[in-house]
Structure 1
């Protein structure tokens, strides 16, 4: 007869906060960042800030993330002031969905 599995909830919590998990999440976020930089739109000659969106993709991480602040997390975000409009579009500009497409393609 097989032994019954009894999880250690404390051990699972330690694993979710571990540096090993945070490093893997940062590695995945960096892959997403790389993909986002590759597919990011760059303005033409009339753009006052060509390449600003592309250069504004950053990766951040912590071991105090999640809803209860008890997990390792890593984020790939864009800090350009107009990143929302590039991602979701406006009535005049089509949505590019750069971060969404990068997350779908670059996570693993």
Structure 2
């Protein structure tokens, strides 16, 4: 005879918001952060006003009320450098580096 499973919506919701899931999301976020820092460009030209700022600005934050419906634990990996968007997507003069995109694809597993 086949086993049956009856899921409890409230129980599954509690699981998705639990400390265990949040800590796992943070662990995966730290892996992504490490991958981003490993591939982050560092300006080595003389006179660069902020060498290494982009690499040092990768942060991991978490919440138990994340996701589209605010119903699950999540971790966010962001870069707080003011020019992070230009490094990620590029400009008309600088090619896109896609640091966060490549880190998210490589890490977190």
If the length of structure 1 is used for normalisation, what is the TM-score? Answer: 0.95
State the Cα deviation string for residues 63-88 of structure 1 (Å, max 9, x = none): 01112222101011100000000000
2: CA distance, partners of 1:50 / 1:89: 18
Q: In the alignment, which residue of structure 2 is the partner of 1:70? A: 71
Provide the secondary structure at the position in 2 that maps to 1:34.
Answer: helix
For structure 2, the residue ranges without an aligned partner over 5 or more in a row are none
For structure 1, the residue ranges without an aligned partner over 5 or more in a row are none
If the length of structure 2 is used for normalisation, what is the TM-score? Answer: 0.95
2: CA distance, partners of 1:68 / 1:107: 22
2: CA distance, partners of 1:9 / 1:81: 41
Report the count of equivalent residues: 108
Q: How far did 1:3 drift?
A: 3.7
Runs of 4+ in 1 over 2 A off after TM superposition: none
1: CA distance, partners of 2:107 / 2:3: 39
**Does residue 89 of structure 1 match 2:100?**
no
2: CA distance, partners of 1:3 / 1:77: 43
